[in-house]
Structure 1
Amino acid sequence: MRQAGGVTRLIGALVASALAGAAVTGCSSEDQVPSIGYAVDATLATYNGATALGASSGSAAVFGRVLTGFFYTGPAGQQVADTDLGTAKEVPGEAQTIQYRLNPASTYSDGVPTSCDDLVLAWAAHSGKYTKPGEHGEVPLFDAATTAGYSDIERVDCQPGSKDATVVFRPDRHYLPWRTLFAAGELMPAHVAARAANVSDVVTAVSGADPSAIGRVAEFWNTGWKLEPGDIDIANFPSSGPYRIESYSAEDGLVLVANERWWGEKPETPRIVVWPKGVDVQQKIADNAVGVVDVGMGSVNGLQLDGFTAQDVPSRGAEQLTLATGGVFGSADLRRAFALCVPRQQLFNDVGRAKDAPPNGLGSGPLNAHVVQQDSLYYAAVTGGANKYANPDVGAAIKAASASGTKNPTVRIGYQLPDDRRARTVSIIAEACKPAGINVVDAGSPEFTPAQLTGGQVDAVLGGTASAPGPSGSADGVAATSALVAGDGLNFGSYANGRYDTITNQLAADDDSATKLSLLTEAENVLWADLPSIPLFATPRTIAFHNGLRNGVAGPTQAGSGWNMDRWVLTR
């Protein structure tokens, strides 16, 4: 089982070094609180974390223990096998081949068994092979966050309803981070999509020649799992994890309750209430409605955490400005001018330095790479392109802006409110860029989504990895890399560079250290020249557990600190 194998061992190994609840001794059942509130600055936009909307709004930080996968993101950002759902192993063959076997006992909360149909749906959605005519040519049918890895798969062998699937990659491809595929939040219930699309099963629809059937499946996959407070048809939201959705409303939050059909170890606490971004966290704390807080450091003005054990830590997410490659930033010269006036060192000093950051590695200084993390062995060797952007150079910025031919440029920076730290970030940038003649406008709003960058409503997004407003990032960095690949669902700035795309493909297939160093160096040089984004610092997170909470382990990653919420115990 997952708990006896992966999570319990992880907690034991990490509790000494990660933030954990102060209470570690046993207690009587009368002392235990039956419901724990989890305040996290993810946005509850969709159940489907595999869509661009889901990945960029933070679904992974909420539904990791609701929609399970063969792997999940652990608290250090690593991929950990979830053997409660099933097993995945690489098997010998001419082409890379992975054998997936679902647990015979695995069943959705609506009573329908999990099956390889779920894998086929995930592959079809992410493969990029199913398209439709668009304004400028073919566009994907499925609004997938990324095709990374999935587009390398040649086929998924699956008999409808079976517990076994064989995934075979193309003969010319080898995907090293294959454990990021079919992971928590990406395996959606195929039987629900089939029912909504009026097809017998997804496997038959995908393998058949009926584009209408696939189109109906894609339409539901894209929009059928969107979340609106008070408007949920629970029949469409079955769970494959220890918790399931009971209700969602603005007043009562997202209520998760123990899944009666869960075949693994029973959750320690029968009810978790998720309070998403936009909720008055301080008031919820005052009301004793919160036991776990996981928010951006400094994002909540005057946050008081009396009665909690709190820590400010750098996360795996990269705080950055993702720039449009059209509109005012259609000129690389103007992107360069903007980067030359953004005070990256000052921003780190004023708003990006986590109190509990290490002296070296992750969070120890401004982030000087787009796709290489600060604790990577390659980091120091690939960051030369960042040197001229350490501190503002007004003269160089004016010269670059003049070369762009744009007079009196205005840059609208969007981000999701409320967020005091990001509001301050925009203010600092505006003040620094004013002498260079660049007018910076704060375009933050409670309704903001990164898609506004694609639509031209803003010129830059201030957010974490893949423009997420809350928890983001992982050790493998797939989202960071793929968010700059042409056509990727997370590439909100519509950046396109064929050489970068080629490098990305090579990096996913070659684990030779010398080759990786060469490729990563070239990738960073390309990105610092094109500037589709401006890295600032490792996004700092404030993570706090009530002093009466046991088994809380900070997760400053895309999975958030709710990665093991089924082990939480709160006593008062």
Structure 2
Amino acid sequence: MRRGTIRLITVLATAAVTSGLVAGCSSKNQVPSIGYAVDAAVASYNGGSTLGASSGAAAVFGRVLTGFFYTGPDGQQVADTDAGTAKEVPGETQTVQYRLNPDGVYSDGVQTSCDDLVLAWSARSGRFTRPGDRGPVPLFDAASTAGYADIERVDCQPGSKDATVVFRPGRHYLPWRTLFTAAELMPAHVVAQAVGVPNVVNALQTGDGAVLGRIADFWNSGWAMKPGGLDLTKFPSSGPYRIESFSAKDGLVLVANEKWWGSAPETSRIVVWPKGTDYAAKAKENALGVVDLGAGSVSDLKLDGFEEQTIASRSAEQLVLATGGVFGPPEVRRAFAQCVPRQALFDTLGKAGEVPQSGLGAGPLNAHVVQQDSLYYPAVIGAADRYRGTDIPAATATLASARAAQPTVRIGYLAPDARRAKTVAMIAESCRGAGISVVDAGAPDFSPARLSEGAVDAVLGGTAAVPGPAGSTTGVAAFAALRTGSGLDVGGFANGRYDAITDQLAGETNSTVTLNLLTEAENLLWAQLPSIPLFATPRTIAFGNGMQNGIAGPTQAGTGWNMDRWVLQR
């Protein structure tokens, strides 16, 4: 049970998060509503879509839309048996049996069913396309097809609680626990109602073009969210909380889901204050109980009455570069990397408290897809040597060889963000000496899609260009963000050898082969530079005095990963 899992994680994590756990006192009263400040940008309910993944849906809706697994506080995948069970079946062909909880029901009264799995697989498999100017274009705007593209079929009787997922012969997807997860398993019955079909299973199997188009259109945009009136019939919950309202004034209000079949949430109301909130004002109003923000992103934030810590997160702070426009020639990307002051950026903005000897936050991040605490990390970072220190003469010479005279680089990010503004300013100061002009293109309505649209030349963000909480131990999003055609590949990077490496790594069990493949991948990425890694994104995580069961989650799921267990006494 999830409650038991949380108890175990609490015991294991006590030493690291003691400051976040404050025992309640009998003389205090439990607060009925907890304010949660998190710098995710609430843009879509659908965490599997490009919009949902790139705005951080997993950090907000993990306890609203449940799945067979969720991301735990250390970035690991944890089974959620409240939602259902998943079991790999022995055999030559990889097969996983999924069984949804018999008591599972959405907040609108409709039973959870294997239809949800068929929809998720169909949307994220890449199998449905439409003609485009340069060849077939995916019908569904999926953040990534990782793992789902390896599935041959999902056996499901419409409305059933059981599904059998069969992978393609010869493929074995090791991180299969990242499939059908929290914030990504969407209510298929809502889609069926919206497009006017009895169920999506039959509609997707028959492959009627017009119906498929309507299903894809709804999956892509039907769950988009903007502050104001939401049609809540489109947003039913399969978790302990459901959406009550969403407005700029009152935040995203989550309330206890009366139809939830698991343990009732300890606090009946959570108010999520997403990116764009005046966090300093909310803190002064005593409207916050939990804070999870990029360290230094809010310059005037004072958290009196909180136990506060700064942690190196699973997210990789990085510059994602366009592979067209000013950065079309790889030499210009290399010149830019040579003038980006990576060490100085880490020293000034990237440290999360005392710097450890190794692991997350131990120095500038010298890998694109391999994490700092990986056993492979020390062996794969040799190609980063030429970019460890700022080299203005080398940058000038590289630009000259590319015949690119005084290029201008526009760096976009979701504003306001004081730390990222300083990052851009430091880069601008350094690169000016190489003849590269850097423009701060941060904006309150910024999204990573502006890079693919040509509105900016680089995105400053975390793993997969996400503005807020990001990253996991599996690294699926990091790999997918550089894969040809992936929704998260906003820079348009395309390299067949890199794609082949990622495909092989997903099923590779031999450590020597894995090391060789990761080394090749990093060498390739440092040569092509679709992105420039900077450091493990430091995050400030704070719990109000009187908080119980608050456990820091510096991952894509954010600290709200167990919000249904929070208790705040004052």
- For normalisation by structure 1, the TM-score amounts to 0.98
Q: Which consecutive unaligned segments of at least 5 residues does structure 2 have?
A: none
More displaced, 415-424 or 128-137?
128-137
Q: Any conservation in 2 of the 1:19–1:554 contact (CA below 8 Å)?
A: no
Q: Which of 297, 302, 305 pairs up with 2:303?
A: 305
The CA distance in 2 between the partners of 1:172 and 1:220, in whole Å, is 34
- The aligned residue for residue 88 of structure 1 is 86
Match of 2:319, as an amino acid?
L
The CA distance in 1 between the partners of 2:300 and 2:227, in whole Å, is 27
Partner SS state of residue 134, structure 1: coil
Match of 2:559, as an amino acid?
S
Matches within 5 A, 1:121-520: 121-520=119-518
- The Cα of 1:406 is off from its aligned counterpart by 1.6
Aligned length: 570
Partner SS state of residue 445, structure 2: coil
- The Cα of 1:136 is off from its aligned counterpart by 1.8
Q: Which of 554, 562, 565 pairs up with 2:563?
A: 565
2:93 is aligned with 1:111: no
- The Cα of 1:299 is off from its aligned counterpart by 0.2
- The Cα of 1:93 is off from its aligned counterpart by 2.3
Q: Compared with structure 1, are the counterparts of its residues 333 and 194 closer, same or farther at alpha carbon in structure 2 (3 Å cutoff)?
A: same
Partner SS state of residue 15, structure 1: helix
Q: Any conservation in 1 of the 2:106–2:238 contact (CA below 8 Å)?
A: yes
The CA distance in 2 between the partners of 1:166 and 1:477, in whole Å, is 26
The CA distance in 1 between the partners of 2:26 and 2:137, in whole Å, is 57
Q: Compared with structure 1, are the counterparts of its residues 359 and 305 closer, same or farther at alpha carbon in structure 2 (3 Å cutoff)?
A: farther
Q: Which of 72, 75, 85 pairs up with 1:74?
A: 72
Q: Which of 22, 26, 34 pairs up with 1:36?
A: 34
- The Cα of 1:228 is off from its aligned counterpart by 1.2
The CA distance in 1 between the partners of 2:17 and 2:368, in whole Å, is 26
- The Cα of 1:561 is off from its aligned counterpart by 0.1
- The Cα of 1:26 is off from its aligned counterpart by 5.1
- The aligned residue for residue 14 of structure 2 is 15
- The Cα of 1:546 is off from its aligned counterpart by 0.2
The CA distance in 2 between the partners of 1:37 and 1:434, in whole Å, is 43
Match of 2:157, as an amino acid?
Q
- The aligned residue for residue 3 of structure 1 is 3
More displaced, 504-513 or 130-139?
130-139
Match of 1:206, as an amino acid?
L
- The aligned residue for residue 99 of structure 2 is 101
Q: Which runs of 4+ in 1 moved over 4 A?
A: none
The CA distance in 1 between the partners of 2:267 and 2:476, in whole Å, is 33
Q: Any conservation in 2 of the 1:367–1:538 contact (CA below 8 Å)?
A: yes
The CA distance in 1 between the partners of 2:15 and 2:24, in whole Å, is 15
Q: Any conservation in 1 of the 2:355–2:363 contact (CA below 8 Å)?
A: no
- The Cα of 1:25 is off from its aligned counterpart by 3.9
Percent identity over the alignment is 67
Q: Compared with structure 1, are the counterparts of its residues 345 and 185 closer, same or farther at alpha carbon in structure 2 (3 Å cutoff)?
A: same
Partner SS state of residue 388, structure 1: helix
Q: Compared with structure 1, are the counterparts of its residues 356 and 197 closer, same or farther at alpha carbon in structure 2 (3 Å cutoff)?
A: farther
Match of 2:434, as an amino acid?
A
Q: Any conservation in 2 of the 1:149–1:178 contact (CA below 8 Å)?
A: yes
The CA distance in 2 between the partners of 1:479 and 1:466, in whole Å, is 6
The CA distance in 1 between the partners of 2:60 and 2:121, in whole Å, is 22
The CA distance in 2 between the partners of 1:231 and 1:59, in whole Å, is 19
Partner SS state of residue 242, structure 2: strand
Q: Any conservation in 2 of the 1:372–1:379 contact (CA below 8 Å)?
A: yes
Match of 1:440, as an amino acid?
V
Deviations 1:335-367 (A, max 9, x none): 000000000000000001111553321001000
Q: Any conservation in 1 of the 2:24–2:569 contact (CA below 8 Å)?
A: no
- The Cα of 1:20 is off from its aligned counterpart by 4.7
Q: Compared with structure 1, are the counterparts of its residues 20 and 240 closer, same or farther at alpha carbon in structure 2 (3 Å cutoff)?
A: farther
Partner SS state of residue 272, structure 2: strand
- The aligned residue for residue 27 of structure 1 is 26
- The Cα of 1:212 is off from its aligned counterpart by 1.2
Deviations 1:170-198 (A, max 9, x none): 00211000000001011000000111111
- For normalisation by structure 2, the TM-score amounts to 0.99
- The Cα of 1:19 is off from its aligned counterpart by 5.1
Partner SS state of residue 411, structure 1: strand
Match of 1:151, as an amino acid?
A
Q: Any conservation in 2 of the 1:153–1:168 contact (CA below 8 Å)?
A: yes
